[in-house]
């Protein structure tokens, strides 16, 4: 993984289920991972391996969804053994409703 998030960044993310009371459009997205046409947006973290957030795979906005994904699995993804997932260095924490790619999806907001 390129630009693996720091412990400080990971510690800022609310624990799993801590934001259940917040409507999806107001959930804050703390990290953004990407590769090609795939994006993972992180809203919650269990402090070990599991994230909750929004995933768009292969630019398929119709099938994109909110759910759980593994930090380890993201770190292990390699395309042709060379290209790895990247964590957006310039990401600014923002609400899900402020992220154009999430808003474009059928179930994003």
Per-residue pLDDT at 52: 98
- With contact defined as beta carbons under 8 Å apart, do 1 and 75 qualify? yes
pLDDT at 100 over 70: yes
Question: Residue 21 domain-assigned?
Answer: yes
Band the pLDDT of 81: cuts 50, 70, 90.
Answer: confident
Per-residue pLDDT at 107: 74
- With contact defined as beta carbons under 8 Å apart, do 29 and 14 qualify? no
Question: Residue 108 domain-assigned?
Answer: no
Question: Residue 54 domain-assigned?
Answer: yes
Q: Name the one residue in this structure whose structure tokens are 């909750």.
A: 52
Question: Residue 2 domain-assigned?
Answer: no
Question: Residue 60 domain-assigned?
Answer: yes
Domain hosting residue 42, numbered range: 7-103
How far is the C-alpha of 105 from the C-alpha of 88, rounded, in Å?
20
Across the range 42-46, mean pLDDT stands at: 98
How far is the C-alpha of 64 from the C-alpha of 8, rounded, in Å?
28
Question: Residue 1 domain-assigned?
Answer: no
Number of domains in the chain: 1
Question: Residue 51 domain-assigned?
Answer: yes
What global pTM score does this model have? 0.94
Coil, strand or helix at 34: strand
Across the range 86-102, mean pLDDT stands at: 95
- With contact defined as beta carbons under 8 Å apart, do 77 and 35 qualify? yes
Q: Give the pLDDT confidence of 27-38 residue by residue, as tens digits.
A: 999 999 999 899
pLDDT at 108 over 70: no
């Amino acid at each position: 993984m390129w630009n693996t998030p720091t412990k400080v960044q990971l510690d800022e993310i609310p624990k799993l289920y801590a934001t259940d009371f917040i409507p999806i459009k107001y959930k804050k997205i703390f990290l953004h991972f990407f590769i090609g046409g795939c994006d993972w947006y992180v809203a919650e973290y269990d402090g070990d391996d599991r994230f909750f957030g929004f995933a768009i795979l292969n630019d398929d906005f119709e099938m994109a969804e909110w759910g759980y994904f593994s930090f380890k699995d993201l770190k292990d993804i390699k395309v042709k053994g060379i290209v790895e997932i990247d964590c957006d260095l310039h990401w600014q924490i923002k609400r899900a409703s402020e992220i154009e790619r999430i808003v474009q999806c059928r179930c994003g907001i």
